Amino acid sequence: MFNVAAFLSYVFLTAYTPGPNNIMAMSNASNDGFKKSFRFCLGVLAGFFVVVTASAVFSAALYDFIPKIEPFMRFVGAAYILWLAWTILRDKPKNKKGNKVRLEPNCFFTGMVMQFVNVKVILYGITTFSTLVLPYFTGVMQVSFFVLLLTVIGFSGTCCWAMFGSIFSRIFAEHKRGLNVVMALLLGYCAISILL
């Protein structure tokens, strides 16, 4: 049975936790303002859509051609999610000297192309489809719905970091340990629900 809580926990945690897209959007917005950084966010949206669609097609092809791989893919997906939880849990606050890092260029093309080398997005798509979606939904319309849903949620995370980047960086700095524990526990819940 499709576990909505596990799906939403994993998808939102992955979309809203720090990663290349979110950190670059935050830096661009803090340097150039939200309006100028929105070009980068739109590039992320375009590239993200392509990568998530490719992940869905790749995962579906594996299911169609090798049906026996499904339990293995569940195990790999759960292991990857547990590794993410462990990484988040053991992350320690870093000393920041207040230097702003200038990430250039702040443009559509950079945001789009970055998705094709962004391991977080690639694994996000493959893990979500192979372990949380395709075991329960296989129709083209259903899978297309999830492609759009993942793209919109990922885009919203990037825009949120761009819009509130400076606020988020202060909150994470002040409450980093507690936030990491909560995120790790939610990811652990996702991994366990995939295996059960």
Residue 132 has pLDDT above 70, yes or no: yes
Q: What is the pLDDT of residue 190?
A: 65
Burial class (CB in 10 A: 0-12, 13-18, 19+), 10: buried
Mapping DSSP to helix (H, G, I), strand (E, B) and coil, where does residue 115 land?
A: coil
Query: Percentage of residues in the chain with pLDDT exceeding 70?
Result: 78
Burial class (CB in 10 A: 0-12, 13-18, 19+), 136: exposed
What does pTM read for this prediction? 0.72
Question: What are the sequence ranges of the domains in the chain?
Answer: 4-195
Highest mean pLDDT among 49-58, 104-113, 182-191: 49-58
Q: What pLDDT, in 10s, does the model give residues 59-87?
A: 888 777 766 766 776 777 677 777 767 87
CB atoms within 10 A of CB 155: 19
Copy the structure tokens of residue 45.
Answer: 């949206």
Q: Which residue has the higher pLDDT, 72 or 149?
A: 149
DSSP of 133-162, one letter per residue? ITTT--SHHHHHHHHHHHHHHHHHHHHHHH
